[in-house]
Amino acid sequence: MTTQAARTGQFGTETAGGEWKRQGNRFTDRITADSDSGSGEGPDAQGRWPVEAGRYRLVVSLACPWAHRSVIVRELLGLQDAISLAVVDPVRDERGWRFWLDDGHRDPVLATEFLAEPYLGTDPTYEGRVTVPCIVDTATGLVVTNDYPQITLDLSTQWRSLHRDGAPDLYPESMRGEMDVLIDEVFRDVNNGVYRCGFATTQAAYDEAYQRLFARLDVLEQRLADRRYLMGETVTEVDVRLFTTLVRFDAVYHGHFKTNRQKLTEFTNLWRYARDLFSQKGFGETVNFDHIKRHYYVTHDTINPTGIVPAGPDPSVWTA
């Protein structure tokens, strides 16, 4: 069985100008509180699945910043008993993400060795990269969604009936206008920007991505000069999204992706902010620097052909 398509390569696509482009998301059904489907049923005519505790499995890599977002949000909202978690091996080859951390190299719930199996079971014609996070319906083995930005928003807004008491509102309606603009800027220039630096294949493409990345970090540094979090005094969705890039910055992106104007630890406000978040429940406890470094330095063999994983930096700086 072909488990990883070559059309987009392992890491994405490249334009004629050497600029790296992120693959779009193939599976975009949603799990919503207003689905017309009942318990145990599939999606309604609008592609909406019903919110149902214990039915779905969230598949993540602890190395991946896009997947890490959903792990943090699941913890913050207290959804651990409502949606189970599967963690893939941080090292990936041409066959894609694999469940080799589990006994027998198979996920105990999905009974699969590779995440490509439910992908192709859902769409046998699929030829894109197999990505995390994704949510799988355990009853049918079908992939519901791999739409990573929507997954966390839906966990916040559609799964409210299953949130823990006192769960934060990560996407408050009163802030959405301003927050959505900030989310787009952070994604374009920072979350995706580090990848555009790392996978650029021309000097011009790299230079453009590098300048945009640090220009945005400078803006965020200034924004945090007089506020604890990006939207004020409350942790929100945009903080989760920025944190998962910042926590990987010095360990991976600074050297591996050549984002080396300065380290995160050399930003006064961004470093204070990132350490503040790291100290809070749901953030630091979900960071796995071993998985992070092994994934990037071993899997990205075009960037690091030796596969040598750096010994540093010392992670104790996050809690010192």
* Residues with catalytic function: 64, 195
What backbone torsions phi and psi does residue 104 show, to the nearest 5 degrees? 70, 10
Cross-strand pairs, 24: none
Distances (CA, A) of 26 to 88, 128, 145, 250, 264: 20, 8, 8, 31, 33
Confirm if 242 and 190 have CB atoms less than 8 A apart: yes
Query: What long-range pairs does 300-306 form, CB within 8 A, spacing at least 24?
Result: 300/11, 300/198, 300/256, 302/11, 303/198, 303/199, 303/256, 303/257, 304/256
What is the distance between the alpha carbons of residues 147 and 58, in angstroms, rounded to a whole number?
A: 12
Tokens 């374009």 found at: 188
Tell me the residue type at 196.
Answer: R
Confirm if 39 and 52 have CB atoms less than 8 A apart: yes
